[in-house]
Amino acid sequence: MLGLPDAIRGCLFDLDGVLTKTAKVHDAAWTEMFNSFLSEWSRATGTQFVPFDPVKDYEQYVDGKPRLDGARSFLASRGITLPDGHEGDPPGAHTVNGLGNRKNQVFLAKVRSEGVEVYPGSVRYVHAAGDAGLHRAVVSSSANTRDILAAAHVEDLFEARIDGIVAEREHLHGKPAPDTYLAGARALGLEPGAAAVFEDALAGVEAGRAGQFGYVVGVDRLGQASALREHGADVVVRDLSELLEQR
């Protein structure tokens, strides 16, 4: 009834875009931060201002990646090299950490003002997985995962949480590397082949395939079903409720 192979014993869920609708908030925060920086950079260097594309640039360079990796990836696409700086750099600093802190500042302000919405079909699926006796964990690159789960009132649905804080503490590489999903499987006491990965980001689907997980579900929120399959999804759905309807 869950649309999964019989060998699956646990589910590893991405957060933004799979469980919660914070992906659009992240996108808006990245867009606001990068456009502010690019405008400053244009004035300082005398180069043309080309705004951040909230669809193409977001999908290709930052979606699903740890915050600093996303910043570096996009900057590299524009031929911009900034020093990494330090974790405590102020949001206005022209360093990778400074831009990351600026993005997080914008994101948290939007969460506080707009709240956190969940995908009802995903919450139904997580409940159904628990009722079927499957283990459940959240795997996200966000350092704000705990706060987002609490704001969405779904933190009690999961046995384990692998997030940006855990990744930094344990020196785990971010998606598309499989490290964080492998850590999620270990936290549930499972081998990768006994776990299913649920992802909406291309980097996340690629991580699920690279980790040789038992099943990779691509969640198509952005009309990129073909790309999700190309990156390794075994099945692509628009909403997890579709898996509950399979017989």
3-state secondary structure (DSSP) of residue 11: strand
What is the C-alpha to C-alpha distance for residues 197 and 236, in angstroms, rounded to an integer?
12
* 16 catalytically annotated: yes
Among 16, 57, 69, 163, the active-site one is: 16
CB 154, CB 19: distance < 8 Å: yes
CA atoms within 13 A on the CB side of 219: 28
- Amino acid identity of 110? K
Pairing of strands 10-13, 195-199: parallel
- Sequence-ordered list of residues with C-beta below 8 angstroms from that of 41, at least 6 positions apart, any chain: 47, 80, 94
131 is catalytic: no
If one counts every other C-beta atom within 10 angstroms of the C-beta of residue 236, the result is 19
Q: Read out DSSP for 86-146?
A: -TT--TTSSSHHHHHHHHHHHHHHHHHHH---B-HHHHHHHHHHHHTT-EEEEE-S-TTHH
Catalytic entry in 6, 14, 156, 220? 14
Between strands 135-139 and 195-199, the pairing is: unpaired
Catalytic positions: 14, 16
